Chain A
Amino acid sequence: MIRMTSVTKQYPAGARPALDAVTVEITAGEFVFLVGPSGSGKSTFLRLLLRDERPTAGVVEVAGRDLAAIPDRRVPLLRRQVACVFQDFRLLPDRTVAGNVAFALEVTGRPRHVVRTLVPEVVDLVGLAGKEHRYPDELSGGEQQRVAVARAFVGRPRILLADEPTGNLDPATGSEILKLLDALNRIGTTVVMATHNAAAVDAMRRRVIELEHGALVRDQVRGVYGLAL
């Protein structure tokens, strides 16, 4: 599903590469934690998968396609397959829960009847049934992140990237979001989650990829946040 081969990313202003010769493969349906200190290259890793950045060297493949070979005009298609949620939710404040979720479908040209069917389903799936008409500022942080997950998931992407999705949430709420991502993973979505949430990583015991100074220093099946047990 995802394959990185000797991928290096050097930003023009950076003294050292943000990613340094990383080679890794993630198969369809996996749930992978991406861990490492701030500045270790986690966000760059995710941005490369969205083709928000291009590697300086190496090959990034998603679903068998070399992202460097995708013409710019086809990148939107990739982003319908690879969705992303962020620490800061990035909701539209003037749209309701349903409006935020529907937005993802409307701007990708889905017909109205599809929007009407999918939005309530996904809002229900993320546990926000009954709150469709609330605005983001009327929701808790955890609920806002659920909306962001619903918006990312409503287009049925094959891969869901999460960049520190629990970073702004208290532990209990963060754990609920993790359960939600786990549920989406169990219905077939590949999940790659960058996180500092040690408790969550330790509790879930899924594959852990650790980056440090841009280099892959650990790739552990059923791993934990810190050093291997």
Chain B
Amino acid sequence: MITNMRVGPVLAIGVTSLRRNLSMTLGVIVTVAICLTLLGAGLLLRAQVRTVDGFVLDRIQVVIDLDDGVSSAERDELAADLRADPLVRAVAYEDKAHAFARFTRDFRNSPDVASGVSADDLPASLRLTLVDPRRSGEIVANYTGRDGVDRVRDQRALLAPLYRFLHAFAVGAFVLAAVQAFAAFVLIYTMIRVSAHGRRRETAVMRLVGATDATIRAPFVVESAVTGMLGGMFAAMALIASKIYLVDHRFARQTTFPLLDWGAVWAVAVGVLLIGSAATAALAAVALRRHLRV
């Protein structure tokens, strides 16, 4: 049985090496921090999409505007078909008077808009609550063009631009994170090469006195993992600062949508910390295969 390595001396060697290559270490930390901040931002934007979706799905409805000339028989038949439809949980009829009341309530802050509209201008409608709001497209397809139906409106479609906006930002963040990840890889690869060169006598002595391969490699992996962890810490701090100063202070005043909560922020912060440490350690192990003879 080969004696296990001792953690203390291995850590000390790794940290000493970090200090010796301080400028390169700082470069790696900054690159990793930017990469992980972008990755975390992308993940938080996706969390925000889920938060908005969860909030609005309970509230949005599919609205079937009825023709003004629809007969009560046609309307009843349509309502009966909808109640029998497994996609539909509830059907409510809203006549022109109620539609007008809702309209005036929704536009109470815009009297110019409300003043030019009367109850006759607004259609009566059947307002549907769906079992699964994500399947609204099927309802729109099935009921558009039926007798007595003017048009079928999916309120969720109104949110599509918001979703596209958030999605585009998330994808952009991921792409930039990937570019930064590549830069981080190149830097870490170089850092290991420089470090292996600078410590070639030390590793030669370790090999000579019978240190195991794992012990010889471990300080390099520690060195890389520590830079990754520091990068991850800065990224986590940036994300937490964004939550405090951007989300809670700035955006919270500008929107009525719920914003992502601290649970998501903590999860992502811990995630980038772990990813930072593990990925940089793994990258070091890859670089060592080329630059360290054991």
Contact = CB atoms under 8 A, between A and B. Distances in A.
Interface string B198-240: 0001101111111111011000000000000000000000000
Contacts of B201: 90, 92
Interface string B158-198: 00000000000000000000000000000000000000000
Nearest to A88: B201
Given A74-B2, A110-B3, A90 B209 contact: no
A108 B66 CA distance: 84
A158 interface: no
Contacts of B3: 108-110
Nearest to A105: B209
Tell which of B10, B208, B213 has the most Cβ of chain A within 10 Å: B208
Interface in A70-122: 72-74, 76-80, 83-84, 90, 92, 94, 103-104, 106-112
Interface of B: 2-6, 8-10, 16, 201-202, 204-213, 215-216
Given A107-B5, A109-B215, A77 B202 contact: no
10 contacts: A73-B2, A76-B212, A80-B209, A80-B210, A103-B206, A108-B210, A110-B3, A112-B8, A151-B205, A152-B209
Nearest to A106: B9
Nearest to A83: B209
B204 A90 contact: yes
Contacts of A90: 201, 204-205, 208
Contact of B6 (A74, A77, A92, A106): A106
Contacts of A78: 210
Given A76-B210, A108-B209, 10 more contacts: A73-B212, A74-B2, A79-B210, A90-B208, A103-B9, A107-B10, A107-B215, A108-B210, A109-B215, A151-B205
A211 to B, nearest CB: 23
Interface of A: 50, 72-74, 76-80, 83-84, 90, 92, 94, 103-104, 106-112, 151-152, 155
A50 B9 CA distance: 25
A94 B201 CA distance: 11
Contacts of B210: 76-80, 108, 155
Contacts of B206: 103, 107
B213 A151 contact: no
A152 B5 CA distance: 19
A129 to B, nearest CB: 22
A108 B205 contact: no
B2 A107 contact: no
B293 to A, nearest CB: 11
Contacts of A109: 2-6, 215
A79 B209 contact: yes
Contacts of A79: 207-210
Nearest to B16: A94
A99 to B, nearest CB: 10
A169 to B, nearest CB: 20
Nearest to A93: B201
B266 to A, nearest CB: 38
Contacts of A94: 16
Contacts of A107: 5, 9-10, 206, 209, 211, 215-216
A158 to B, nearest CB: 12
Contacts of A112: 6, 8
Contacts of A103: 9, 205-206, 209
A111 B207 CA distance: 19
Contacts of B209: 79-80, 83, 103-104, 107-108, 151-152, 155
Contacts of A155: 209-210
A108 B211 contact: yes
A61 B101 CA distance: 99
A109 B216 CA distance: 12
A16 B127 CA distance: 95
Contacts of A77: 2, 210
